[in-house]
Copies of this chain bind each other. A is one copy, B any other.
């Protein structure tokens, strides 16, 4: 399947609120985890059924509901009913191929963004869709598979870190997005270090064929990354300008920091892109200048022998009358002439700075 965009033929013309899972199924099970807290109390729970959520719903606490696995339309329907969400939102949650976006609804904000993860061995970047639904006291996060990057946040909640425990769902959403963007920067940083190592290598060594493979591999990953983070910037910008009842005044400073981080990520990825282009050019320059040197050397070498061989050819002819052949010192004279000619040509080429 295409890595950048996916659309099956049968998906064309579906109603916008059809609860159809679109994407690659990355998880078998669906798991539900709840963390419910205010500045004083904390309750963590792994649920089997959605009904267990109901009790948190009424409490004036922050409830973070995390759902791993999106392919169960029944559950989605249930969530829509329990939290009184538009089917449209749930359809969006299940569409993992959609573009990062933020939409404000009457009773919630819907946020969708790509989580990137670097496979440190293969250097390949994998992508997972993260959807957030933000209401006054509940934050629901939807991930495609188990095993997330949000453990540090759970730790901060458990350790009673003031900001997050005193904060509201909007702050919690910031914390999640912050980790997502930190991951972007981390990936760029890892990729960037590889690129800079390659640059140093290029400055000192003769490049070989492996260099071009590396440059192209880095370029492909960087392009993939850029394609995923560019729309995220638009989303964060829209979020930081949104005037919503679900976002408190003092959370905007954090959203603006997210924007700063996104800008840094995009700046850096632009810079590395430029560097890769420069490297590609440098590689070609080095390779072709080396080839030029070789070809020049070889050509000059050949050229010197051409007239000498010609002279030998002349005295190899079998004419009956060829006066020089009879003369006693002819052979030695010929050898001497050949040496002189070769030397003269070498001097001439040297003087012309041809080698």
A328 at the interface (CB under 8 A from B): yes
**Closest CB of chain B to A251's CB: distance in Å?**
11
Q: Are B328 and A321 interface neighbours, CB within 8 A?
A: yes
A212 at the interface (CB under 8 A from B): yes
- A residues 259-305 touching B (CB-CB < 8 Å): 260-261, 263-264, 267-268, 271-272, 274-275, 278, 280-282, 284-285, 287, 289, 291-292, 294-296, 298-303, 305
Q: Are B99 and A260 interface neighbours, CB within 8 A?
A: yes
Question: How many residues on A have C-beta within 8 angstroms of the other chain's C-beta atoms?
Answer: 117
Q: Are A331 and B326 interface neighbours, CB within 8 A?
A: no
- Out of B149, B153, B216, B305, which one reaches A310, CB within 8 Å? B305
Q: Are A319 and B312 interface neighbours, CB within 8 A?
A: no
**Closest CB of chain B to A278's CB: distance in Å?**
7
**Closest CB of chain B to A140's CB: distance in Å?**
19
A303 to B294, CA, bound (A): 11
Q: Are A223 and B275 interface neighbours, CB within 8 A?
A: yes
Q: Are B326 and A330 interface neighbours, CB within 8 A?
A: no
Q: Are B98 and A260 interface neighbours, CB within 8 A?
A: yes
A186 to B22, CA, bound (A): 13
Residues A312 and B316 in contact in the complex (CB < 8 Å), given A253-B88, A284-B285, A330-B321:
yes
Q: Are A15 and B164 interface neighbours, CB within 8 A?
A: yes
* A173-209 interface bits toward B, Cβ cutoff 8 Å, 1 = contact, 0 = none: 0010011001101101100110110000001001001
Chosen A-B contacts, 14 in total, with CB atoms closer than 8 Å, are A1-B193, A4-B268, A5-B185, A7-B188, A11-B186, A13-B149, A15-B156, A101-B260, A212-B285, A216-B278, A302-B306, A316-B317, A317-B325, A319-B331
Contacts A291-B296, A309-B313 given; 12 further ones with Cβ under 8 A? Answer: A2-B192, A12-B183, A223-B275, A231-B267, A298-B303, A301-B306, A302-B303, A309-B310, A315-B318, A317-B334, A319-B324, A319-B331
